Structure 1
Amino acid sequence: MSDDEATFVAAARAGDTARFAQLTERHRRELQVHCYRMLANYEDAQDLTQETFLRAWHKRESFQGRAALRTWLYRIATNACLDFLAKRKDRTPVPSGLPGPDSGSEVLYLQPYPDRMLPEDPQESVVARETIELAFIVAVQQLPPRQRAVFVLRDVLGWPASTAADALELTVASVTSALQRARVTMREQLPDRRLDWRSPATRELSTDERGVVKSYIEAHQRNDLDGLVSLLREDLRFAMLPEAGTVIRTAEEAVDGWVSGGLFQRGHDDWRGIATTVNRMPAAALYLRASEDPDHRLFAVAVLRVVDGKIAELTGFDARDQPWLGLPSTL
Structure 2
Amino acid sequence: MSETMRRDVDEPAFSGLAERHRRELHVHCYRMLGSFEDAEDTVQETFLRAWRRRETFEGRSTFRAWLYRIATNACLDLLAKVRPEPATGGEVPWLQPYPDRLLDELPADDADEPETVAVARETIELAYLVAVQHLAPRPRAVLILRDVLGWPAKDVAELLGDSVNSVNSALQRARAGMREHLPAERQDWAGGSGDAGTRDLVRRFTDASVATDVPALAAMLRADVRFAMPPTPGLHLGRDAVVADWLRDGFAEMTGLRGLPTAVNRQPAVAFYHRREPGGAYLPLTLDVLRITGGAITELTTFHADRFAGLGLPERLPADGAE
With normalisation by structure 2, the TM-score equals 0.90
Matched, 1:142 2:128: no
2:153 pairs, out of 156, 161, 181, with 161
Matched, 1:298 2:261: no
Matched, 1:38 2:32: yes
Write the distance in 1 (CA, Å) between the matches of 2:136 and 2:166: 14
Matched, 1:265 2:252: yes
- In the other structure, the counterpart of 1:175 is 167
SS at match of 2:277: coil
Q: CA deviation at 1:224?
A: 2.0
SS at match of 1:4: coil
In structure 2, relative to structure 1, the CA distance for the partners of 1:91 and 1:315 (3 Å cut) is: farther
Q: CA deviation at 1:210?
A: 1.4
Conserved in 2, the CA contact under 8 Å of 1:302 and 1:316?
yes
Which letter does structure 1 place at the counterpart of 2:31? Answer: R
Which letter does structure 2 place at the counterpart of 1:240? Answer: M
Conserved in 2, the CA contact under 8 Å of 1:91 and 1:109?
no
In structure 2, relative to structure 1, the CA distance for the partners of 1:141 and 1:224 (3 Å cut) is: same
Q: CA deviation at 1:185?
A: 0.8
The alignment covers a number of residue pairs equal to: 307
Conserved in 2, the CA contact under 8 Å of 1:298 and 1:329?
yes
- In the other structure, the counterpart of 1:89 is 83
Q: Deviations over 1:60-99 (max 9, x none)?
A: 000011100110000000000000000113763143xxxx
In structure 2, relative to structure 1, the CA distance for the partners of 1:91 and 1:292 (3 Å cut) is: farther
Matched, 1:63 2:48: no
Conserved in 2, the CA contact under 8 Å of 1:133 and 1:281?
yes
Q: CA deviation at 1:205?
A: 3.7
Write the distance in 2 (CA, Å) between the matches of 1:191 and 1:238: 13
1:279 pairs, out of 265, 269, 276, with 265
Write the distance in 2 (CA, Å) between the matches of 1:321 and 1:162: 39
SS at match of 1:275: strand
Conserved in 1, the CA contact under 8 Å of 2:25 and 2:71?
yes
In structure 2, relative to structure 1, the CA distance for the partners of 1:276 and 1:123 (3 Å cut) is: farther
- In the other structure, the counterpart of 1:210 is 199
Structure 1, unaligned stretches of length 5 or more? 96-104, 196-201
Q: CA deviation at 1:121?
A: 3.1
Conserved in 1, the CA contact under 8 Å of 2:153 and 2:168?
yes
In structure 2, relative to structure 1, the CA distance for the partners of 1:280 and 1:66 (3 Å cut) is: same
Q: CA deviation at 1:223?
A: 2.7
SS at match of 1:317: strand
SS at match of 2:38: helix
In structure 2, relative to structure 1, the CA distance for the partners of 1:235 and 1:324 (3 Å cut) is: same
Q: CA RMSD in A?
A: 1.9
Conserved in 1, the CA contact under 8 Å of 2:125 and 2:266?
yes
- The percent of aligned pairs where both chains have the same amino acid is 50
Structure 2, unaligned stretches of length 5 or more? 111-116, 318-323
- In the other structure, the counterpart of 2:313 is 327
With normalisation by structure 1, the TM-score equals 0.88
Which letter does structure 2 place at the counterpart of 1:180? Answer: Q
Write the distance in 1 (CA, Å) between the matches of 2:245 and 2:185: 30
4+ residue runs over 6 A deviation: none
Q: Deviations over 1:118-167 (max 9, x none)?
A: 23335452211110001101111111100000010001111000111111
Write the distance in 2 (CA, Å) between the matches of 1:122 and 1:112: 22
Write the distance in 1 (CA, Å) between the matches of 2:275 and 2:259: 11
Write the distance in 2 (CA, Å) between the matches of 1:189 and 1:4: 43
Write the distance in 2 (CA, Å) between the matches of 1:241 and 1:294: 28
Q: CA deviation at 1:191?
A: 5.6
Which letter does structure 2 place at the counterpart of 1:69? Answer: F
Q: CA deviation at 1:248?
A: 0.9
In structure 2, relative to structure 1, the CA distance for the partners of 1:43 and 1:122 (3 Å cut) is: farther
